[in-house]
Each structure stands twice: as C-alpha cells, then as structure tokens.
Amino acid sequence: MSFAVSESARVVREALGAILRQRREAARRTLTEVAGEAGLSPAHLSEVERGRKEVSTEKLLAVAHALGVRPADVYADLARLLGADADHPAWPEDPPVKLRLATASLPLEALRSVADFSAFLAMANPPPKPKAPIGFWHPTKSSAPRGPHPDEPGG
C-alpha cells in the first residue's frame, strides 16, 4: 500500500493537535481545565495541540472524555483531515476479507486458539432446528394432512 508523502508523524501530530484545539475551543474550555481533567499539565496539552509532543492513547482518551466527545469522533476527524475518502471505506464489507485483515498480524498460535474456540462455540451452540411452517391449511397441497379438515363436513 502506498502512502502520501504528507503522511508523516509530524503531519499526523499537527492534525491531531489541531482537532483537539478546535474541539476544546468549540466547547469554550480553557487549556488548564481540560488538561486538569485529563491528567496532563497545561504545558503538555499545549505542546500536543501544537503538534510538538506525542500523546499516548490513554491520555488522548482522557482528553476526549474531558472535552465530552467520543474518541471515535476524534479519530474520524483525524481521518477526514488526513484525506480519508468517506465513499471508499478502508475496511471492506466482505466478512472473509475482514477476517483476513483482522487476523493478518496474529501469531500462528493465536490463530489456532481462535479456530479452536470457534469450533467449540459451533459444537456447543448448534444451529436451531427448523420449525414447522405456520400458516393456513390448504386441502389441495400434497403435504396437507390426510382426512377432512375439522371445519369441513365429516370432520
């Protein structure tokens, strides 16, 4: 997969910082308020917002929660800012392809564990047996019960 030249760590840091600053300013919150709630120093959050410092996932989640936004929205904003195409999702809709992508980085032993557990679940929870069809009785169908219907004469 080829990447754009602009997709450097610096560009991603600056984009993420800009998003956090925009979200904070839109919420009319000060740097000190948000940093305090997120467990960061105001100086560190300022550096993050300017794209000069990295932020751990834990601290990013804490900042998002302090701002009252879902972390997924922050990541979606970041993806859009970096040029993600909403009409062409990066994650395929095809379940077998999703499975291949999701398991591509797993070690062989982990894949075996997943396969064993999947087999266990399949045996422990067999699919339900088909139920008898529900509907009106029709005397002309070959699968209809023999003999007259209870509502008919002779029934």
Report the share of the chain in percent with pLDDT over 90: 42
Distance CA 28, CA 26 (A): 5
Say which residue, 12 or 104, is predicted with more confidence. 12
CB atoms within 10 A of CB 47: 17
pLDDT higher than 60, residue 4: no
Instruction: Give yes or no for a contact between 137 and 149, defined as CB atoms under 8 angstroms apart.
Output: yes
Give the model's pLDDT for residue 18: 94
32-43: pLDDT as tens digits: 999 999 999 999
Give the model's pLDDT for residue 83: 81
78-131: pLDDT as tens digits: 988 888 776 766 666 777 777 777 777 778 888 888 888 888 888 888 777 888
Q: Please state the length of the chain.
A: 155
Contacts by 34-42 with C-beta closer than 8 Å and gap 24+? Answer: 34/63, 34/66, 34/67, 37/62, 37/65, 37/66, 38/62, 38/63, 38/65, 38/66
27-72: pLDDT as tens digits: 999 999 999 999 999 999 999 999 999 999 999 999 999 999 999 9
Q: How confident is the model at residue 1 (pLDDT cuts 50, 70, 90)?
A: very low
